[in-house]
């Protein structure tokens, strides 16, 4: 596949509008090549992304649910099966104009239509969803099958876990034990950075000697470290890494099957800032491959990257400036990533802030300009840092004024005594 064919076609705008769905009062999202959603917890970021997944993969979701014996007679039951227990009343459509509404690319989308089976017209998957609850998928160190989860779990968690399981049990050869670092799956520069920043010199391996297969960490010929003893960041990152393996096929193909979209919820979970940078570097790799990527996050690190990329482009920077963000300076590493960095400067970036009002209803704002002079434009992610700086600065000023006054008093007393 040629490099040009990997890129998202210009003019293929994708737009999703929601009103009065869950806590979302109003949202109008125009997706870029990379779209970032920020905002406090429970403001509807995951709901919006799951609705996007449902619209893109309706038939595939119906087929999967039916294959595992799920049945639904009405749209509310379907919504509860898909989004999870307690979510059946999230999307209430009314004829008086005051109810929930959804538009995708200018056309109305009705929950009843999404819940109605239409036959096996399109069973391939366009959207690959890596959920925030991914650590739950590695129960005792191995991905769980779809049917192992209770009905309360969202579809995207079950589906992600099942796909990881199939990948581990069918796509990984039985004689293969080392999952990371593996040559031919990730570029050397990725492997080196993750080895240092996330796995601390350990390798991620499959233990096939125990009663059941499981993932373990191992260093040289030392004792295996069980999943329950991993750091929180390693438990969160391992399923994310395997998910990224699946959408980065080896060989000449740049994309996996018919997948066009990759959604990653909270990629920063449990990770040190340097490790977050490693993940974001792979995100740029996905963009260069032609995927459209959506990220929900609580990390200012992600916004810093988007802000830097936009400013590098506007100030006539080049690919090497992009790689400096990730501390890629060795000539060999730079050469490996030049195409990815150059592609990053050609992409469109969109950022949206989910802002709740005093009643908890959320209005989604386009903050793609990312003006750091305004707290609002950073989605409150820099608010604590700003407030900390203000408090310390005022304390320093007060201490300076107090010290200056004490010096004046001491000088006055000394002059009087003389």
How many domains, the chain? 1
Give residue 291's pLDDT.
97
pLDDT band at 70 (very low <50, low <70, confident <90, very high): very high
| C-alpha to C-alpha distance for 228 and 60, rounded to whole angstroms | 34
Give yes or no for residue 336 having a pLDDT over 50: yes
pLDDT band at 414 (very low <50, low <70, confident <90, very high): low
CA atoms within a 13 Å half-sphere pointing along the CA-CB vector of 314: 8
151 lies in some domain: yes
Where are the alpha helices (H) located in 68-217, listed in sequence order? 75-83, 111-115, 155-166, 188-197
Give residue 331's pLDDT.
80
Taking the CA atoms of 241, 243, 248 and 251 in sequence, report the sign of the dihedral they define.
positive
What are the tens digits of pLDDT across the range 87-114? 999 998 775 556 899 999 999 999 999 9
122 lies in some domain: yes
Q: In Å, what is the CA distance from 36 to each residue of 280, 281, 351? A: 12, 15, 5
Q: In Å, what is the CA distance from 82 to each residue of 34, 42, 67, 154, 181? A: 25, 18, 14, 6, 35
Residue corresponding to tokens 């990257």? 305
What are the tens digits of pLDDT across the range 108-133? 999 999 999 876 656 688 999 999 98
411 lies in some domain: no
What are the tens digits of pLDDT across the range 386-399? 555 666 666 666 76
Give yes or no for residue 384 having a pLDDT over 60: no
Burial label, 278 (beta-carbon count in 10 A; 0-12, 13-18, 19+) = buried
Give residue 3's pLDDT.
43
| C-alpha to C-alpha distance for 292 and 304, rounded to whole angstroms | 19
* Adjacent-strand bridge partners of 356: 362
387 lies in some domain: no
Phi-psi region of 330 (alpha: psi -120 to 50; beta: other; left: phi over 0): beta
Average pLDDT over residues 58-77: 92
398 lies in some domain: no
Range of lowest pLDDT (69-83, 177-191, 218-232, 370-384) = 370-384
| C-alpha to C-alpha distance for 113 and 198, rounded to whole angstroms | 44
Question: What's the CATH code of the domain at 155?
Answer: 3.40.50
What are the tens digits of pLDDT across the range 14-30? 999 999 999 999 999 99
> b/e map of 296-325 (b: 16 or more CB within 10 Å)?
bbbbbbbbbbbbbbbebbeeeeebebbbeb
Alpha carbon 32 to its chain's center:
15
Q: What is the DSSP letter of 225?
A: B
What are the tens digits of pLDDT across the range 250-278? 766 788 888 999 999 999 999 999 999 99
Give residue 105's pLDDT.
97
pLDDT band at 415 (very low <50, low <70, confident <90, very high): low
pLDDT band at 9 (very low <50, low <70, confident <90, very high): very low
Residue corresponding to tokens 């005022």? 394
78 lies in some domain: yes
59 lies in some domain: yes
| C-alpha to C-alpha distance for 285 and 293, rounded to whole angstroms | 11
Domain with 151 in it = 3-381
| C-alpha to C-alpha distance for 42 and 211, rounded to whole angstroms | 40
Instruction: Report the helix count and the strand count for the chain, using DSSP H and E.
Output: 13, 15
Contacts of 13 (CB under 8 A, 6+ apart): 30, 31, 105
User: What percent of the chain lies above the pLDDT cut of 70?
Assistant: 83
Give yes or no for residue 54 having a pLDDT over 90: yes
* 8 Å CB contact between 129 and 48: no
Kindly report the CA angle at 329 between 323 and 335, in degrees rounded to 5?
70
Average pLDDT over residues 369-375: 66
> b/e map of 135-173 (b: 16 or more CB within 10 Å)?
bbbbeebbbbebeebeeebbbbbbbbbbbbbeebeeebe
pLDDT band at 379 (very low <50, low <70, confident <90, very high): low
Give residue 1's pLDDT.
35
Strands 34-38 and 292-297: parallel
User: What percent of the chain lies above the pLDDT cut of 90?
Assistant: 61
* 8 Å CB contact between 60 and 122: yes
330 lies in some domain: yes
Taking the CA atoms of 330, 306, 287 and 250 in sequence, report the sign of the dihedral they define.
positive
Give residue 249's pLDDT.
79
Gyration radius of the chain over CA positions: 25
Cis peptide before 181 (omega within 30 of 0): yes
Give residue 370's pLDDT.
78
| C-alpha to C-alpha distance for 260 and 289, rounded to whole angstroms | 10
What are the tens digits of pLDDT across the range 147-166? 999 878 999 999 999 999 99
Contacts of 274 (CB under 8 A, 6+ apart): 193, 197
SS3 210: coil
């Amino acid at each position: 596949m040629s490099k040009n064919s990997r890129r998202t076609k210009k003019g293929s705008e994708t737009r999703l509008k929601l009103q009065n769905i869950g806590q979302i009062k109003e949202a109008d999202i125009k997706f870029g090549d990379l779209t970032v959603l920020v905002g406090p917890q429970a403001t509807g970021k995951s709901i919006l992304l799951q609705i996007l997944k449902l619209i893109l993969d309706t038939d595939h979701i119906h087929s999967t649910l039916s294959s595992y014996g799920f049945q639904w007679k009405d749209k509310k039951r379907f919504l509860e099966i898909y989004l999870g227990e307690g979510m059946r009343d999230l999307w209430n459509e009314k004829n008086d104009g005051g109810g929930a509404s959804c538009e995708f690319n200018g056309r109305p989308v009705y929950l009843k239509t999404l819940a109605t089976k239409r036959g096996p017209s399109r069973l391939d998957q366009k959207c690959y969803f890596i959920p925030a609850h991914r650590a739950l998928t590695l129960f005792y160190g191995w991905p769980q099958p779809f049917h192992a989860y209770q009905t309360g779990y969202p579809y995207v968690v079950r589906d992600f876990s099942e796909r990881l399981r199939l990948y581990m049990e069918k796509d990984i050869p039985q004689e293969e034990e080392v999952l990371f670092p593996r040559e031919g799956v990730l570029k050397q520069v990725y492997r080196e950075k993750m080895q240092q920043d996330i796995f601390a010199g350990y390798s991620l391996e499959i233990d096939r000697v125990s009663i059941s297969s499981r993932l373990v960490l191992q260093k040289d010929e030392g004792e295996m470290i069980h999943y329950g003893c991993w750091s929180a960041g390693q438990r969160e990152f391992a399923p994310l890494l395997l998910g990224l393996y699946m959408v980065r096929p080896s060989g000449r193909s740049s994309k996996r099957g018919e997948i066009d979209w990759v959604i990653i919820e909270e990629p920063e979970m449990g990770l040190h800032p340097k490790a977050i940078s490693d993940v974001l570097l792979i995100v740029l790799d996905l963009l260069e491959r032609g995927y459209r990527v959506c990220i929900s996050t609580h990390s200012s690190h992600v916004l810093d990257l988007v802000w830097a990329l936009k400013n590098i482009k506007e100030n006539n920077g080049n690919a090497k400036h992009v790689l400096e963000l990730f501390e890629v300076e060795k000539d060999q590493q730079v050469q490996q990533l030049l195409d990815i960095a150059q592609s990053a400067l050609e992409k469109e970036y969109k950022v949206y802030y989910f802002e709740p009002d005093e009643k908890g209803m959320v209005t989604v704002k386009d903050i793609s300009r990312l003006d750091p002079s305004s707290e609002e434009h950073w989605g409150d992610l820099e608010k604590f840092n700003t407030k900390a700086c203000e408090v310390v600065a005022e304390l320093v000023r007060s201490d300076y004024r107090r010290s200056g006054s004490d010096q004046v008093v001491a000088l006055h007393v000394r002059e009087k005594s003389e």
